[in-house]
Amino acid sequence: MTLKMPGSMDECIYFTRRKLENDGKIIAWVYRKTCPECGEKMGKPIDEKTGKAKVRADTFECPACKFSEPKQAHEESLNVEIIYTCPHCGHSGETTTEYKRKSWEGVKAYVFMCEGCGKKIGITKKMAKGKK
């Protein structure tokens, strides 16, 4: 599997680049979903007064045709694409996982398995440390 790195942040809903202990590294991103009606990239609705995205909106909307989708249904259909170097065994690889945070070592994280050693690795929110 060969993952394509995003060219700019405008293509992504989520992007992170992390360094882990023991020379482990993670680069993870989630591409914006294309609109099923017209093929444009969907995003949060735009506020008419300020011209900025409504951060707390509970829908995703296509800027071209105004097709909207509930936030929960939209996010369940997305995947996190990950390029990593495992901190446990040093294996470098690529993988994808669902765009949903799960409990990992007592904190919420996007969790994936190392292809080399089979251990779980988590991408935590706000650089939180897992409880070992």
Q: Give pLDDT tens digits for 31-41.
A: 999 998 898 99
One-letter amino acid for residue 109 of the chain:
A
**pLDDT given for residue 2 in this prediction:** 82
pTM for this structure? 0.87
**pLDDT given for residue 71 in this prediction:** 92
How confident is the prediction for the chain on average, in pLDDT? 91
One-letter amino acid for residue 52 of the chain:
K
Q: Give pLDDT tens digits for 98-116.
A: 999 999 999 999 999 999 9
Residue 12 C-beta-side C-alpha neighbours within 13 Å: 16
Q: Give pLDDT tens digits for 49-97.
A: 998 989 899 999 998 898 999 999 999 999 999 999 999 999 999 999 9
